[in-house]
Amino acid sequence: MILKDLLAIAGSPGLYKFIAQGKNAVIVEHLETGKRTSAHAAAKVSSLEDIAIFTETGEVALSDVFDTIFDKEEGKKSIDHKSSPVELKEYFEEILPEYDRDRVYVSDMKKMIQWYNILQSLGLLEKEEKRDEAEDEDEAEDEAGQKTKD
């Protein structure tokens, strides 16, 4: 999944899109409401692109976890993030069997599932391979256009 410019702000519900960098704050837009606000330097802002999940052997990028959920659910919504802890753990074992049970908490699972469902409902879950192919086609068209101009 492509998670560039998507942010989570500690203490603020939902996900945000990076808009601009201010002097002492980051200007963000809430994905669901579209309201713009600023996240001050003291706020803990995390880029979804930088988040990884602990496994027994290392770490797995959040985008890879979202890819797995997307494939498992065939592009549809995942289970509800308010499901019981037992259901969440069982679901997580299906999508990431090697996750570190000591360091990945139910609250982390809830957040990931909630984020996935937000992105899915807004149509923002785009597989990286599709985007790469589209970029390659655009570049090929640009090169073909330049050659015909010469």
Say how many C-beta atoms besides its own lie within 10 A of residue 39's C-beta: 19
The pLDDT value recorded for residue 105 is: 94
pTM: 0.79
The pLDDT value recorded for residue 23 is: 84
- Per-residue pLDDT band for 3 (boundaries 50, 70, 90) equals confident
Q: Are strands 16-21 and 25-30 parallel, antiparallel or unpaired?
A: antiparallel
- Per-residue pLDDT band for 149 (boundaries 50, 70, 90) equals very low
Cα-based torsion angle of the residue sequence 121, 127, 130, 131 in order, rounded to the nearest 10 degrees: 90
Q: Is the C-alpha dihedral spanning 57, 62, 64, 65 positive or negative? A: positive
- Per-residue pLDDT band for 1 (boundaries 50, 70, 90) equals low
Say how many C-beta atoms besides its own lie within 10 A of residue 133's C-beta: 11
Condensed to tens digits (0 to 9), the pLDDT of residues 49-97 reads 999 999 999 999 999 999 999 998 888 899 999 999 999 999 999 999 9
* Domains contained in the chain, CATH given: 6-48 (2.30.30.730), 53-121 (1.10.10.1650)
Condensed to tens digits (0 to 9), the pLDDT of residues 84-142 reads 999 999 999 999 999 999 999 999 999 999 999 999 988 888 766 554 454 555 554 55
- Do 68 and 96 form a contact (C-beta atoms < 8 A)? yes
Identify the H or E element spanning 9: strand 6-9
The pLDDT value recorded for residue 12 is: 87
Query: 148 is written with which tokens?
Result: 């015909």
**What contacts 25, CB < 8 A, 6 or more positions away?**
38, 39, 40, 41
Pick the residue with more confidence: 4 or 133? 4
Residue 73 class from Cβ within 10 Å (0-12 exposed, 13-18 middle, 19+ buried)? middle
Is the pLDDT at 145 greater than 90? The verdict is: no
The pLDDT value recorded for residue 69 is: 92
The pLDDT value recorded for residue 123 is: 87
